[in-house]
Amino acid sequence: MPKFSLKKRFQSFPYAWNGIVLLIKFTHNAWVHLFAAIVAVILGFVLDISRGEWMLLTIVIGLVLALEAVNSAIEILCDHLAPEKNEAIKKVKDLAAGAVLIAAITSFIVGLLIFIPKLT
């Protein structure tokens, strides 16, 4: 196993940043999630949510965007490895998309729990 190198860890950041750029630039669902995140952040400022509520909001936004990135990576890899129709690949892609949907629904519920009491 190679020796740990802080320099090499920092050199990997451009690759990770490129992944974020690819997610935002080419993944249509990421645009929907990003729009929802922006709305939630604006609401958070307008409604002056608490520090704990900000932490929850940040976690669920990050979770949804991270899972969308993983889902996109899985889809790209699957499409590359099996461009023809394949039932096993379909299940893998559906499961990954389902994970994003679960996170998005959870985020929506967290948003409702945070914002509805402040709006009523």
**The tokens 């790209």 sit on which residue?**
76
pLDDT tens digit sequence for 63-110: 999 999 999 999 999 999 999 999 999 999 999 999 999 999 999 999
**pLDDT at residue number 8:** 87
> Averaged over 22-28, what is the pLDDT?
92
For the domain made up of 28-119, the CATH class stated in words is: mainly alpha
